């Protein structure tokens, strides 16, 4: 295949990005809904101990997964004029590394089980190697589909794999009501998309062969991997520490609260990077348009996400038993603490778009180290007080890091800290005031749990929108929403991504 066969058709950027933003948002809405349904349904079918066993394995899998990609999919997406020989080389690197890491998992399984003092963990850790190999086989095919901006096809595959994984997990509980039902679902959600990536991509690998100049791609991926490596500790050491010192029951409670709140938030912003990183990369040499494009997208995320987080946080003791069942009531206080971190994560998570699109992978890695160090310190400070203490300490650390993140980003590049302060204040302030409004309105809410939750959600969004309207940038963002809703393509893309 010729090099240009890997690129989108000429003149399709505006159309592809605009349509991709809509399609990705819709697909991710379905995926998040599927994940919430999964949490609710499987929490009723399985015990906290089952989730605790899986949560003990999750940090190990996440750590191993850091190295299987090495940022090479991002390198394939970003490189100008990439050739078949380069993609082929990266494909075999992905496959070889994935096979090696699967063997490492199998060998480490008894050690992980001994660390937790839980023999059931050994078999599950070894079995997770199948997911690693599956991903390695499809990584470059996924990268090529993303490079060609085939967002509709990717969205269909993403949704289908999430739904299939949920169905398999639920079906497996009728065969074996244990943690293996969760494994069966995740394996299905890994195998199905890999098959679809191969079927959808026109590219097929050939025999491995060394390629001159491949070091440029490897170096690009190294910075991304450095961030992911550091970020791993910020995202997973809390589970390790709680599981080790407080056992699987406490870890199960913490894991459910985290998955129900913070994980869906990351799933809103992370998939949008497939659209926004390529678009912002095209605009990095045009600072005004770059800044305008980012500042049109970010408020829309905050406007949608923050009032929902505020309502859920204020109503945690009603929401958790209502959706998960009474046996999960102890998760309510953990959910409440994590909710405050959730009021900042939709603002902070998209920062990666800026680092990557500006080519600042070294800065990205250094910020990952800062995040890891401060998060681990927070976990250690909160650990003596159990899962709740860890959740509170993590939320505090998120507030302390946020201003330094945006000052660090703003020291170079088109987007300054002052730009973010003006753009984010209406929505972050509105989210916090919405939480306070719902909290103080609780005695006046209906007695029915369902009615109370609906009323609280409506109040939260009403307060957040009203606060946003008090600020010029908030009013501008609301006008963007009104123009965005009836449009076939987002206006921010039409104006800024040419």
Mean pLDDT over 106-134 rounds to: 89
Q: Nearest CA to 160 among 206, 114, 129, 191?
A: 191
Degrees to nearest 5, angle at CA 51 with 49 and 52: 60
Confidence at residue 234, expressed as pLDDT on a 0 to 100 scale:
82
Which residues, 6 or more positions from 399, have their beta carbon under 8 angstroms from its beta carbon? 340, 344
- The model's pLDDT over 189-205, given as tens digits with 9 standing for 90+, comes to 999 999 999 998 888 99
Distance of CA 190 to the CA centre of its chain: 16
Alpha helices, DSSP H only, in 148-214?
Answer: 151-173, 180-200
State the average pLDDT over residues 111-134.
Answer: 89
Identify the weakest region by mean pLDDT among 18-27, 107-116, 137-146, 177-186: 18-27
Q: How many CB atoms lie within 10 A of CB 377?
A: 12
Beta strands in 256-408 (DSSP E): none
Segment (H or E) for 482: helix 472-484
- Band of residue 173 on the pLDDT scale cut at 50, 70, 90: confident
pLDDT band at 457 (very low <50, low <70, confident <90, very high): very high
pLDDT tens, residue by residue, 312-321: 999 999 999 8
Residues 116-133 have a mean pLDDT of 88
Alpha-carbon gap, residue 233 to 368, rounded angstroms: 10
Q: Inform me whether the pLDDT recorded for 332 exceeds 60.
A: yes
Rounded distance between C-alpha atoms, residue 40 and residue 13, angstroms: 39
Alpha-carbon distance values, 224 to 138, 374, 488 (Å) = 19, 20, 34
Average pLDDT, the chain: 84
Q: Which two tokens mark 279?
A: 């678009």
What is the signed CA dihedral for 67, 221, 371, 21, rounded to 10 degrees? -110
Mean pLDDT of 158-181: 89
Q: Give 51-116 as a DSSP string.
A: HHHHHHHHHHHHHHHHHHHTTHHHHHHH-TT--HHHHHHHHHHHHHHHHHHHHHHHHHHHHHHHHH
Domain boundaries, given as residue ranges, for the chain:
1-212, 231-498
How many Å apart are CA 235 and CA 404, to the nearest integer?
Answer: 19
Q: How far from the centroid of its chain's Cα atoms is residue 472's Cα?
A: 30
Report the distance separating Cα 420 and Cα 406, nearest Å: 7
- Position 409 scores a pLDDT of 94
Three-class DSSP category at 2: coil
Which pLDDT score is estimated for 145?
A: 86
What separation in angstroms does the CA of 254 have from each of 47, 122, 262? 14, 22, 11
Q: What is the mean pLDDT of residues 83-91?
A: 86
Sign of the torsion angle spanned by Cα atoms 33, 135, 139, 56: positive
End-to-end CA distance of the chain: 27
The answer to whether 475 and 469 are in contact (CB under 8 A) is yes
Whether residue 398 is predicted with pLDDT greater than 60 in this model: the reply is: yes
């Amino acid at each position: 295949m010729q090099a240009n066969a890997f690129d989108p058709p000429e003149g399709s950027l505006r159309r592809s990005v605009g349509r991709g933003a809509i399609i990705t948002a819709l697909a991710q809405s379905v995926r998040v809904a599927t994940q919430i349904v999964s949490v609710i349904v499987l929490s009723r079918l399985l015990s906290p101990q089952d989730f605790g066993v899986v949560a003990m394995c999750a940090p190990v899998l996440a750590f191993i997964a850091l190295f299987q990609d090495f940022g090479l999919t991002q390198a394939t997406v970003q490189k100008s004029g990439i050739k078949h020989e380069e993609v082929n080389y990266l494909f075999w690197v992905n496959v070889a590394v994935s096979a090696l890491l699967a063997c490492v998992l199998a060998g480490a399984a008894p050690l992980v089980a001994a660390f937790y003092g839980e023999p059931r963990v050994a078999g599950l850790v070894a079995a997770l190697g199948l997911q690693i190999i599956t991903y390695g086989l499809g990584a470059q095919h996924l990268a090529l589909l993303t490079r060609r901006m085939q967002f509709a096809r990717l969205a269909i595959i993403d949704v289908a794999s999430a739904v299939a994984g949920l169905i398999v997990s639920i079906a497996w509980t009728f065969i074996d009501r244990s943690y293996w039902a969760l494994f069966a679902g995740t394996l299905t959600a890994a195998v199905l998309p890999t098959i679809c990536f191969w079927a959808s991509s026109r590219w097929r690998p050939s025999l491995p062969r060394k390629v001159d100049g491949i070091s440029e791609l490897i170096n690009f991926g190294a910075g991304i991997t450095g961030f992911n490596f550091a970020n791993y500790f910020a995202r997973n050491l809390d589970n390790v520490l709680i599981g080790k010192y407080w056992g699987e029951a406490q870890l199960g409670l913490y894991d459910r609260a985290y998955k129900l709140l913070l994980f869906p938030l990351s799933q809103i912003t992370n998939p949008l990077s497939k659209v926004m990183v390529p678009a912002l990369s095209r605009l990095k040499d045009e600072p005004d348009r770059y800044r305008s494009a980012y500042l049109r997208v970010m408020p829309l995320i905050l406007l949608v996400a923050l009032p929902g987080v505020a309502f859920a946080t204020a109503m945690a003791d009603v929401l958790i038993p209502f959706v998960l069942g009474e046996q999960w009531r102890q998760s309510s206080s953990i959910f409440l603490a994590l909710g405050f971190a959730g009021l900042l994560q939709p603002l902070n998570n998209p920062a990666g778009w800026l680092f990557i699109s500006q080519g600042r992978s070294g800065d990205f890695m250094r910020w990952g180290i800062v995040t890891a160090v401060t998060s681990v310190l927070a976990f250690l400070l909160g650990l003596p007080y159990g899962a709740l203490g860890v959740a509170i300490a993590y939320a505090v650390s998120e507030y302390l890091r946020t201003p330094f993140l945006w000052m660090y980003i703003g020291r170079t590049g088109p987007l300054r800290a002052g730009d973010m302060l003006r753009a984010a204040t209406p929505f972050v302030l509105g989210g916090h005031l919405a939480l306070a409004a719902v909290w103080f309105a609780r005695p006046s809410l209906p007695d029915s749990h369902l009615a109370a939750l609906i009323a609280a959600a409506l109040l939260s969004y009403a307060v957040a929108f009203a606060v946003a309207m008090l600020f010029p940038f908030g009013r501008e963002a609301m006008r963007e929403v009104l123009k965005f809703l009836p449009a076939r393509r987002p206006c921010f893309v039409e104006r800024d991504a040419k």
